[in-house]
Structure 1
Amino acid sequence: MGRAIPPRAAAAIAGDEDDDKSSWPEVVGWVMLNAADKINSDRPDVSVAFYMLPTPLPTDYDANRVIIVGDERSVVVRTPVIG
């Protein structure tokens, strides 16, 4: 007799909000490709862009992009975020 809970609301109640994830601090220190796999697993709707230090980063905002910044060893050195 009650109303059904929409899937997104049910996921939020259950604590599973990966669809809305916008940053990945847990991948700092990972190899860039492994970080990209994790990001794509959490958010298959976004693309991943790779940048190596000291390359300048894009200044425009893109809600469908996650930037991964790595060092000379291809290790993530900044928290990847959407934008």
Structure 2
Amino acid sequence: MSKASWPEVVGWPATAAVTQINADRPDVAIEVVLAGTTVAPGFNSERVRVFFDAGNSVGPVTATPAVG
């Protein structure tokens, strides 16, 4: 079964998280989104959103990325 969430990348730099998710699931599109940004609702089985904190120079991931 394909991996559907990446709790282990919370706190990682966003670029490293994207690399890991892409290695695990090259079949999904990855959207990197600034935490607090309003995004369109709705489930998409071909998308993973990675929310990051721009207030920190390394842009750590702030929430568990998941398919949807």
Residue by residue, what CA displacement relative to the aligned partner does 1:35-80 show, whole Å, maximum 9, x if unpaired? Answer: 0000000001001001112211230211000000011122100000
Q: Does 1:51 align with 2:33?
A: yes
**SS in structure 1 opposite 2:64?**
coil
Other structure's SS at 1:67 match:
strand
Structure 1 unaligned runs (5+)?
1-16
Q: TM-score, normalised by structure 1?
A: 0.74
Q: Which has the higher contact order (CA 8 A, sep 6+)?
A: 2
Structure 2 letter corresponding to 1:78: A
TM norm structure 2: 0.89
Gaps of 5+ in 2: none
Structure with the higher fraction of residues in helix conformation = 1
Q: Stretches of 4+ moved more than 6 A in 1?
A: none
Superposed CA RMSD = 1.0
Larger Rg: 1
Q: 2:45 aligned with 1:63, yes or no? A: yes
Q: Provide the residue aligned with 1:10 in structure 2.
A: none
Report the identity percentage: 38
